Amino acid sequence: MTKPLEGRVAVVTGAGQGVGRGIALALAGAGAAVVVAARRAETGEPVAAEIRARGVPAICIETDVANGDAVRAMVARTVAELGRLDVLVHNAIKAPSPHRVESVGIEQWEELSEVTVWGSLYCARAAYPHLKASGHGRLIMLTSPAGIEGSAGLPLYGPVKAAQRAMAKSLAREWGPDGITVNCIGPVAVTPALDKAFAENAELRGRIEARTPLRRLGDPERDIGGVAVFLASDAAGYVTGQTIICDGGSFTGL
């Protein structure tokens, strides 16, 4: 089996569980050394240990992506310990609770904006010189179909995810001459948060699967991680400014 990311170093934010964990494992499977950037070491270190058990270098770095200093420190430590930075995947998110715009507290808007939008900016700024030096730098942001088609139950979530797509398009234009690609993935996959929702609503899984042409939910490592590996590899060297919706076909509006 070939290792398309052999010799490269990747950072995945929010990699302590769910989609972030799946992407971290997939990138490691493709040969990349991985930094598991997690808000809490107790969730991130087990993922790093899982990667090391597969024979791939990995470290966990506690990182609050809403704090620019913390993001800069994480990137600096990555380069100091692993020697370079080729791929940064910004996956971390503050999970929203269902709300209506006329009654939701402003604190939820602030939390979503800090982690999703500001976090994307902090990651991009800290990573840029290293991605440029890499020669094949990749910035990947995890957005959502809600950022394209909206969400009646999450009217604050849609705008912050849409902002990531706009940032990716702008950075793709700005960084293209430096050889850096910038893309987004809009996933739907089984995560601990979704499992909790299924436990609270026995009909929810069936409804989601029924509206999905492939009739199943995505696997974080195999399905979402596979797209991340593609975007991080040389095979996607001519793909930039794009959003790949990986949701089994539920959204087909692009």
Catalytic residues: 157
Residue 134 neighbours by CB under 8 Å, 6+ apart? 8, 84, 85, 86
Residue pair 250/212 in contact by the 8 Å Cβ criterion: yes
Q: Which residue has 């990137």 as its token pair?
A: 75
Buried b (16+ CB within 10 A) or exposed e, 96-117: beebeeeebeeebbebbbbbbb
**Tokens encoding 59:** 């470290």
Q: Would the CA dihedral through 21, 25, 27, 33 be positive or negative? A: positive
Among residues 154, 161, 159, 184, which one has the least CA distance to residue 171?
Answer: 184
